[in-house]
Structure 1
């Protein structure tokens, strides 16, 4: 791998590191702030996701180091470098958090897929790691979406443009169900 390719892969992986660190924090935030009749199901669903995301974080940081980069795992680096806003839902019903979390997962998966495409030529090892991470991230999103989909496959948050909008749409759909 050329030094130019390595620098670009390190940049891509650093952004994935920030996104995964943010995801782990967001999952714990939801874990601590979920309420309502489905509290325990969501509360307990999230801890294994946090554990796996933390493993992804470690793998990504170690890959950055392997390529000669410096993984920056501080909150200051995350906030300075990220291109997204903080998770916007506080204490809320389980369905509201799941609606918002679906959008969080969708964005992370989209950006991971872009990183997979970008690493195809210069670094298949990093690409393989990202693909493995996608396998879990997509599974976690499926767990979330199972709460938001009708039996006909309609997603209650399909038209949402923001986390708060997704939370409101998911809550509205839940109120309509018998």
Structure 2
């Protein structure tokens, strides 16, 4: 016996991405396979939505910088919690969750932002567009997974992903409302 760590180990994958192992959860292989594929797309989108929130959080400018800086950070943290819930659902179904950001970039539907800093209204609009992209896909995925009898995935998509996304959209959109100035 030695306390020396065995460094630089490499081995073949023990489960390929896109496959599912058989687990006794009373759900067909095809349903689990489909759910994992859809969940991984939502997972990639959610990872990129998280990153987009952080980009906006760091690049905030203007008179509402402090308030939006805090809001974007709160929304980013909520997205990060969804990332974990989605990845764990994929694993629960016997799949492999997309975990490498380079892999997630290949399957996300969220458009890439410019490398520089945008004005506040453009940031807000970009976040709203990203949310709409994600929500449209999640609504379809929730319907399809329910049809396949995967109530756990459907519940996650509706009760966590859609509800969180809709609430975040509401708060973002309110910052784009133009209100008349107050007159003395």
TM-score (norm 2): 0.78
1:33 CA displacement: 0.9
Equivalent in 133, 149, 155 of residue 128 of structure 1 = 155
Deviations 1:2-34 (A, max 9, x none): 101110010000001000000000000010112
Deviations 1:30-76 (A, max 9, x none): 10112111111111101111111111110110010010001121111
Alignment of 1:78-93 (within 5 A): 78-88=104-114, 90-93=116-119
> In structure 1, how many angstroms separate the alpha carbons of the residues matched to 2:62 and 2:115?
15
1:134 CA displacement: 0.8
1:107 paired residue number: 133
1:172 paired residue number: none
1:150 CA displacement: 4.3
2:165 paired residue number: 137
1:89 CA displacement: 6.8
Q: What is the aligned residue count?
A: 153
Aligned CA RMSD, in angstroms, stands at 1.6
Residues 1:24 and 2:50 are matched in the alignment:
yes
The unaligned stretches of length 5 or more in structure 1 are 152-176
Deviating 4+ runs (over 4 angstroms): none
Q: Is the 8 A contact 1:19 1:82 kept in 2?
A: yes
> In structure 2, how many angstroms separate the alpha carbons of the residues matched to 1:150 and 1:72?
40
1:91 CA displacement: 1.2
Instruction: Give the structure with the larger helix fraction.
Output: 1
> In structure 2, how many angstroms separate the alpha carbons of the residues matched to 1:56 and 1:84?
16
SS at match of 1:11: helix
> In structure 1, how many angstroms separate the alpha carbons of the residues matched to 2:64 and 2:122?
11
> In structure 1, how many angstroms separate the alpha carbons of the residues matched to 2:157 and 2:110?
20
Equivalent in 48, 63, 66 of residue 37 of structure 1 = 63
1:9 paired residue number: 35
Q: Is the 8 A contact 1:89 1:100 kept in 2?
A: no
Q: Is the 8 A contact 1:65 1:71 kept in 2?
A: yes
SS at match of 1:128: helix
